[in-house]
Amino acid sequence: MGIIDTHSHYNDEAFDEDREELLLSLPTKGIDRVVNIAVDIESSKECIELADKYDYIYATVGVHPSYVHEMQSDYIEKLKDLAKHEKVVAIAEIGLDYYWSTEHKEKQKEEFARQLELAKELGLTAVIHSRDAAKDTLDMMVAKRAGEIGGVVHCYSYGVELAREYLKMGFYFGIGGVSTFKNAKKLKEVIAYLPMESIVLETDAPYLSPVPNRGKRNSSLNIPYIVEEIARIKGIQAEEVVQRTFENVHRLYPKLG
């Protein structure tokens, strides 16, 4: 039993200098498993390479909403092929992002729908990225019966009311470094509201380092700060947060074994 980081990007160039050293150190520092998340076809391949190299790293394949407009029409076939790898646990990260790219809204919706369908077809879960697109994301997930797919809403950034809708669909909530920010009042309310059964830990490394390392390169080694904050909000021990989230991830991703 140990910490599971359900969302990292260790293929990112931010880790080029010390990737091997850092990844080898994780199991010695209480990090039990890592799910490395893809954002396009190239990173999907890189995720699989990392999963091949390290037995405690698992992979996803998928295209982030900010990159779907760059894809060639056969990209779904490529994802389908890559998803055959035994350590691929989800189609990710997929969704809608109107913060970074408002100019491709229709394309984003179209490709989100296609990737949700792919997850369903392959019997995989989905990791959802949704920013400034609350209504469209929920509408699409309801329309595509995402409750039958399941997965994680990553870096959850909306309020309690919407959280209730995702809970109804059986989705898990990825809680990361933002939870430790002083001004993250809304997220702290959501954490207080969520049942422990629905929370999983994540970093989004190299991004979103928790306090006291805010602004620096993030890694799974920072997760204890997130654990402490969840424990404080929930009024439980840190060990219980680690134990419960560990159980949640194994329910979500039985392949992690």
Comparing CB distances to Ni ion, the nearer of 111 and 204 is 204
Minimal distance, residue 156 CB to Ni ion, in Å: 12
Q: Is 164 exposed, middle or buried (0-12, 13-18, 19+ CB in 10 A)?
A: exposed
The residue type found at 225 is Y
Q: Residue 7 or 144: which CB sits closer to Ni ion?
A: 7
Q: Are 179 and 142 in contact (CB under 8 A)?
A: no
- Nearer to Ni ion by C-beta: 12 or 240? 12
Which of 122, 135, 177 has its CA nearest to residue 154?
177
CB closer to Ni ion out of 213 and 243: 213
CB of 240 to Ni ion, least distance (A): 26
Report yes or no: 37 and 10 within 8 Å, Cβ to Cβ. no
Residue 195 to residue 219: CA distance in whole angstroms: 26
Closest separation between CB of residue 9 and Ni ion, Å? 6
Give strand pairing partners of 130: 96
The contact set with Ni ion (CB under 5 A) reads 204
User: In whole angstroms, how close is the CB of 155 to Ni ion at the nearest point?
Assistant: 7
Nearer to Ni ion, 5 or 204 (CB): 204
Q: Which residues pair with 131 in a beta bridge?
A: 97
Q: How far from chain centre, in Å, is Cα 1?
A: 20
Nearest approach, Cβ of 79 to Ni ion (angstroms)?
A: 17
